[in-house]
Amino acid sequence: MRIASWNVNSVRTRLDQVVAWLEQAQPDVLCLQETKVADELFPHAAFEQLGYHCTISGQKAYNGVALISRLPMEDVQIGFDALLPSDPEAPRLSEQKRVISALIDGIRVLNLYVPNGSSLSSEKYGYKLEWLNCLKRYLQIQEEQGDPLCMVGDFNIGPEDRDLHDPQRLTGGIMASAPEREALQVVIGDRLSDAFRLFEPAAGHWSWWDYRSGAWDRDQGWRIDHIYLSPELVDCATGCVIDRTPRGNTQPSDHAPVMVNLEWDLEDEEDE
């Protein structure tokens, strides 16, 4: 199974680019973030013509996540409150459309758009840390359900200095502060592994280039788009890549797709 993640920064604005990439890359599942469209306006038809089905959670102009799959999607769960109905913070933190998951061929595919946080002095920074703490509680329930987990998305955090183009200057700031990194590590815990780092330990690999200051032309990027795998899936992962090509398009998203390949056979797993 090939699972991809891409912050498209408006699915309708970049629909032609997304469709072209789907035709070229042929993922089984594409997880989109920052779709920026209300559900009733989502462009289902363009994906259905390619043999994909869409499960969405959107809002006008901001946020929004979607699962695009040519495999059947079951037990769709939207928002934190899908697994945390009694959690006092989950309903409020689910108002922004940032969480969607489905069971696809026996794998729980969880698609996230983690808040950016804006700046260390912003109220949005506190919201980001609250959101990550709620994600930790959400994943505790998910683990109890027992499904193998592929968690993907725009995490808006460079986990380590090797994930930043200028760690000396950027470490300690937004998306690279100690509280953000520590919160992400708590979320990952001992259970989840960074799929990209299973295959590529070196620095110099980015998934996001700021539109400002010629970051793309200077290759001054960050690796903030991640795919995390539970142990059952780590054992069958055969590769994980960042496809920089779409970032060079005219009027591109500022993010590049990330894709993992899994040699997964649900029937074999059930027989074991």
Q: Are 102 and 75 in contact (CB under 8 A)?
A: yes
- Cβ pair 261, 234 in contact under 8 A: no
Nearest residue to 97 via CA among 60, 69, 68, 47? 60
Select which of 28, 52, 113, 194 is catalytic. 113
How far apart are the C-alpha atoms of 266 and 178, rounded to whole Å?
39
DSSP character at residue 13? T
Which of 147, 154, 163, 225 is flagged as catalytic?
154
Query: What does residue 116 show for φ and ψ, rounded to 5 degrees?
Result: -75, -45
Active-site annotation holds for 154: yes
- Residues 127/114, Cβ–Cβ less than 8 Å: no
The DSSP secondary structure of 125-173, one letter per residue, reads HHHHHHHHHHHHHHHHHHHHHT--EEEEEE-----SGGGBSSHHHHTTS
DSSP 80: G
Do β-strands 149-154 and 107-113 pair in parallel, antiparallel, or remain unpaired?
parallel
Catalytic residue IDs: 113, 154
